[in-house]
Amino acid sequence: MSESFDCAKCSESLYGRKYIQTDSGPYCVPCYDNTFANTCAECQQLIGHDSRELFYEDRHFHEGCFRCCRCQRSLADEPFTCQDSELLCNDCYCSAFSSQCSACGATVMPGSRKLEYGGQTWHEHCFLCSGCEQPLGSRSFVPDKGAHYCVPCYENKFAPRCARCSKTLTQGGVTYRDQPWHRECLVCTGCQTPLAGQQFTSRDEDPYCVACFGELFAPKCSSCKRPIVGLGGGKYVSFEDRHWHHNCFSCARCSTSLVGQGFVPDGDQVLCQGCSQAGP
């Protein structure tokens, strides 16, 4: 008697039938598929032994079921992306989830170097300075009305220039005669002392500190011989071609203040009326 040759699952004879041999014994094709075949994640049908099977993240697919969920293109031999468990070809993924470059209008491909600013996206090589047209990359830049400038170009084009040295003011300056100045450029014409934050005056549009202006231009007090500088509300008295500080305008003999009083000139001196009448 010949030895029996039966399916390990259904026990039907395999003589004259197609079968598949496994470590646990031979199986007829239907039993083999039911026992060992995986279920396709797309169509939910068994993936038969004679079908090409594709595997991705614990999921199995028939070759024909492994396709883009949007355009149905086969992904068997194509690059693809998985988005929320859906398989997408690169074209559909870019169309749905990638942004367009604000400069050239082309898609910014996933994984490519890009720059984002103000809700817009650029290819790294498309994000250029509006002045010198060089890539800005990771350099500092200044936005202005939809344009983007590297710092040197922005300063060249828009930053105010110092009235003295004509160089740009990139940070704090001072205003003199409605013009911007570097703090270090606004100095006394006489002694070169910095004037920013100090009291000063001008002559012929040139700035002077109080001391230099008094020495160079202010009239001298006929009594103390010091300059009479009218800054800060200073008051003085003038008579003919002579001048006095308010507190210096007093009688040469009794030192009584003559401000607002009658007086009598006596040579280089001034006297109150009482001392004048008293005689020499």
Q: How far apart are CA 29 and CA 143, in angstroms?
A: 70
pLDDT, residue 232, reads: 43
Reduce the secondary structure of 117-155 to three states and give it as a string: ECCEEEEHHHCECCCCCCECCCCCEEEECCEEEEHHHHH
Spatial contact of 200 and 183, defined as CB atoms under 8 Å apart = no
pLDDT, residue 111, reads: 66
AA identity, residue 150: C
AA identity, residue 202: S
Spatial contact of 201 and 208, defined as CB atoms under 8 Å apart = yes
| 208 DSSP assignment | E
From the candidate CATH numbers 2.30.36.70, 3.20.20.70, 3.40.605.10, 2.10.110.10, the one assigned to the domain spanning 221-277: 2.10.110.10
pLDDT, residue 246, reads: 86
Spatial contact of 45 and 39, defined as CB atoms under 8 Å apart = yes
pLDDT, residue 200, reads: 87
CATH 2.10.110.10 residue spans of the chain: 37-95, 221-277
Q: How far apart are CA 37 and CA 51, in angstroms?
A: 10
pLDDT, residue 83, reads: 77
pTM: 0.39
The string of DSSP codes covering 248-274 is G-B-TTT--B-TTS-EEEETTEEEEHH
Spatial contact of 13 and 5, defined as CB atoms under 8 Å apart = yes
| 232 DSSP assignment | G
- As averages over each run of 10 residues, the pLDDT of the chain (280 residues) reads 77 87 89 89 87 87 88 85 82 77 80 81 89 87 87 83 85 84 91 89 87 84 81 70 87 88 86 82
pLDDT, residue 191, reads: 93
Q: How far apart are CA 258 and CA 237, in angstroms?
A: 10
CATH architecture assignment, domain 37-95? Ribbon (2.10)
